[in-house]
Amino acid sequence: MNLENREEENGKSFTDECNKVLMAVSDALYAVGGKWKLMIIIAMARGNKRFTEIQRQVVGISARVLSSELKELEANGFIIKKVTNGYPVSIDYELLPYSQTLEEVVGAMTRWGIQHREKIKSEGRK
């Protein structure tokens, strides 16, 4: 029946669309997911450029984890590591222009996080 064919077509296109969405979200989570990556980018956007500055600003992150996350952010084109020779050697991390593509994401997550915290507080949870 024609209606059944339409449902099959709609189901297939829905599945294709769903797969596209899932793949896009998966790619985004791979690039900036986890507990620390966006927090590191936010700290860097606020002027923290050195490893110890970033570690102090992102409370709770260990040096080992920060080092690993910085390498992943560099591999994904969000930051660059700049080494200045001299004594002592100086290492700074800088945001690349591509990191600005996360502004809307960070803004949306900030708004949602504030909203969610208020919801939890109003329900008497911590």
Q: Is 81 helix (H, G, I), strand (E, B) or coil?
A: strand
Residue 118 to residues 9, 109, 122, 126: CA-CA distances in angstroms?
A: 43, 14, 6, 10
Band of pLDDT at residue 11, cut at 50, 70 and 90: low
Q: What single-letter amino acid sits at 115?
A: Q
Whether 9 shows a pLDDT value over 90: the answer reads no
Q: What pLDDT shows up at residue 16?
A: 87
Task: Give the gyration radius of the chain's Cα atoms.
Answer: 21
pTM score: 0.80
Average pLDDT, the chain: 90
Backbone angles phi, psi at 62, to 5 degrees: -80, 160
* Average pLDDT over every residue of 87-115: 95
Strands (E), the chain: 79-84, 90-95
Instruction: Report the percentage of the chain scoring pLDDT > 90.
Output: 81
Q: Could you tell me the fold of the domain covering 33-122?
A: Arc Repressor Mutant, subunit A (1.10.10)
